[in-house]
Amino acid sequence: MASVTDVKRSIRSLLSVPRVATLLGSILVALCSGTNYVFSAYAPQLGTRLNISNTQLNVLALAGHVGFYVSGPVWGRIIDARGPRIPLIGAAACFFIAYAGTRRIYDDGIGTAASLSPVLFAVLVALALVIGFGVNAGLNSGINTTAKSFPESAHATVIGLVLAGLGLSAFCFSTIARVFFPGDASSLLHLLSLATSLPILFAWFIVRPIPLPEAYLNPKADQCQGREPVQSGERVPCITEQDVGTTNIGEPDCRTPLLGNRHETRDHCVPDSSSALEIGQVRDQITETERPDIHGIQLFTSPDFYLIISIMTLLSGTGLMYVNNIGSISLALYAKSNPYYDPIEAAKWQAAQVSTFSIGNCAGRIVMGLISDFTHTYLRLPRAYCLCIVSSAFIISQVFAIGVSDVSALWIPSVVVGFAYGSVWGAFPPIVIEWFGLAHLSENWGWVAMSPLGGGNIFSIMFGRNLDAHTPSQDAQAIIPDVKGVVAALGTMVLQGVPPQRQCLGGRECYVSSLWVTLMACVVALALSAWAGIRDGRRSRMRI
């Protein structure tokens, strides 16, 4: 019978120095790879200096996310075949080149020209794409390496920790920007070029897959070691592959085979005093033998693939729209409630919202990872039920965002949207493993992670056009009637360095109609999530 000492030994082997170093290194890589979310911390200043519209700023933000999504399958194939070393070098190079190039264009400005030339704008778009390439290379390396270094029962938790680093990235960089150089986009871009590439080069030396301990690869041998032979006819408690998730450990209902036919029956003996960890080891070993291996053409013919990307498109698209425009939202609310516009103070509010979103984003990834593992390991339910929690969090977040009319209260929807968006990335990767298998995780996740392209593009461009429609034009006589109150306020407002024609000053009226659209999208996602949970539950019962 397995002893407490055996369990402690298996835990120590799981938490070995190389394995923990790999986890910490993967978190560091993710922390450096989350800079797509920092865009809102310098986007308004970029638009002001280069005289580009809100719609064009959204195009730049989306280019970074497009680079992230479209490069996923390519980086995934490389990581699955060659490991994380090549993608990590690629990520460091992408970050340094892209941020240094963006800073150079920002510092040069537009001179005496009326606006940024199409060629330079195309270069900015290309650099944003390169940033996205680097984000996916770093994040995919961390996720894949961590998933292969820890057992299935801990996948959601450890992957959530890695993804939490990605969510915390915006908080770290925006906090530094707010404290040390508020409103100085050039210094922030310089920091990003160095503080993203150098740590990834350091992580290159420690991020590598660590084989699982023997106790997790073959728990039966570890559990049966040192037991007395079972006499003929003696009944012992055991778990068969058909009984996983339903067997009552306290009620023995099968016999241990006497001859050498263990491998035919594939029974897994568990002592009466088994802990959740021991049972989890058995479940991991059984799951490993029965886990599907769906990839390539099979993936594109699977209904599960289209279900999961539909849910992710609606939810992540909503989150992307908010994070890409959170700076413009905070500036619009600040301008509405402050007749004397101070760009330094406005920039601090802007950076504070990015930091607040980032904290919620980080918390969502960790908490949802823990909930997912608890649901799977202890409640014996499919992880797909967690999608309902994620969708509900998004609905609540949009309701809060619609109701806010003062910048001092904007932190509430920022935290909730951040938490909901982080929950997406804490819940979906383990479901991809559960539905499609671990062998081709990076490739499959690369395809699934492309799904936000649709929702992110549609919602963000819609938001940008909505902002531009409410933005005062250069001709004060052409200002639309809906912002007459803003025109009156302009008589007393002191605008220091922020051209009125490039910033909507009407508060929540600048964007609220876009939030009603995303609220409806989240309701649809909740219905699809409920269907995914019901469908997965039926499939699990059919296996029993």
Neighbours of 275 (CB within 10 A): 13
pLDDT in tens, 282-306: 444 444 445 667 877 888 888 888 9
Q: Is the pLDDT higher at 147 or at 86?
A: 86
DSSP SS3 for 402: helix
- Please state, in angstroms and rounded to a whole number, the distance separating the CA atoms of residues 188 and 190: 5
Identity (one letter) of the amino acid at 393? A
Read off the pLDDT of each residue in 231-243 and give the average, rounded to a whole number.
46
Longest Cα–Cα distance of the chain, Å, equals 97
Query: Which helix (H) or strand (E) covers residue 235, if one does?
Result: strand 235-236
C-alpha distance from residue 109 to each of 31, 117, 186, 271, 495 (Å): 30, 11, 11, 72, 20
**In b/e form, how buried is each residue of 149-164, taking b as 16+ CB within 10 angstroms?**
bbbbbbbbbbbbbbbb
What count of other Cβ atoms lies within 10 Å of the Cβ of residue 371? Answer: 22
Q: Within 13 Å and on the Cβ side, how many CA atoms surround 47? A: 29
Among 333, 404, 393, which residue's Cα sits nearest to residue 367?
393
Provide φ and ψ at 239, rounded to 5°: -120, 125
For residue 274, what pLDDT is reported? 46
What is the average per-residue pLDDT within 504-522?
A: 86
Cα–Cα distance for residue pair 268/261, rounded to 1 Å: 13
Q: Which residue has the higher pLDDT, 536 or 273?
A: 536
Residue whose structure tokens are 């800079």:
35
* Spatial CA neighbour of 470 closest among 499, 503, 514, 498: 503
441-478 residue pLDDT tens: 777 877 887 887 788 888 888 888 887 777 765 444 34
Model pLDDT, residue 293: 72
CATH class for the domain made up of 13-211: mainly alpha
Q: Give pLDDT, residue 495.
A: 41
Q: What percent of the chain has pLDDT over 70?
A: 75
pLDDT (average), residues 254-266: 42
In this predicted structure, what is the pLDDT of residue 168? 79
Chain segment 336-361, per-residue pLDDT in tens: 777 777 777 777 787 788 788 888 88
User: From CA 449, how far away is CA 425, in angstroms rounded?
Assistant: 9
The residue ranking higher by pLDDT, 71 or 281, is 71
Architecture of domain 293-471+501-543: Up-down Bundle (1.20)
- pTM of the model as a whole: 0.63
Q: What is the pLDDT of residue 449?
A: 78
Please check the confidence at residue 170 and state whether its pLDDT lies above 50.
yes
d(CA 423, CA 390): 6
Residues ≥6 apart with Cβ < 8 Å to 193: 95, 96, 98, 99, 100, 103
Same fold, 13-211 and 293-471+501-543: yes
Alpha helices (H) along 338-474? 343-377, 386-403, 411-436, 441-448, 452-469
- Given a cut of 90, is residue 517 above it in pLDDT? yes
- Non-local (6+) Cβ contacts of 245 within 8 A are 283, 380, 540, 544
Residues 6+ apart with CB under 8 A from 422: 163, 164, 167, 360, 361, 362, 363, 364, 365, 366, 368
Report pLDDT digits (tens) over 140-151.
Answer: 898 888 888 888
- DSSP 8-state symbol, 503: S
Is residue 256 over pLDDT 50?
no
* Mean pLDDT, the chain, integer: 76
pLDDT category of residue 490 using cuts at 50, 70 and 90: very low
CA–CA separation, 284 and 150 (whole Å): 11
Predicted confidence at residue 285, as pLDDT, reads 47
Task: Tell me the mean pLDDT in the region 7-29.
Answer: 77
Three-state DSSP class for 84?
coil
What type of residue sits at position 358?
S
Q: How many residues does the chain have?
A: 544
Q: 518 pLDDT band (50/70/90 cuts)?
A: very high
pLDDT category at 210 given cuts 50, 70, 90 is: confident
pLDDT band at 62 (very low <50, low <70, confident <90, very high): confident
- As a whole number, mean pLDDT of residues 155-161 equals 78
Kindly tell me if the per-residue pLDDT of 506 is higher than 80.
Answer: no
What pLDDT is recorded for position 420? Answer: 94
Q: What pLDDT is stored for residue 216 in this prediction?
A: 58
* Out of 125-129, 142-146, 361-365, 377-381, least confident range: 377-381
Rounded mean pLDDT, 356-375? 85
The residues spanned by each domain of the chain are 13-211, 293-471+501-543
Helix segments in 181-302, DSSP class H: 185-203, 214-217, 219-224, 262-265, 276-290, 297-300
pLDDT (0 to 100) of residue 486: 38
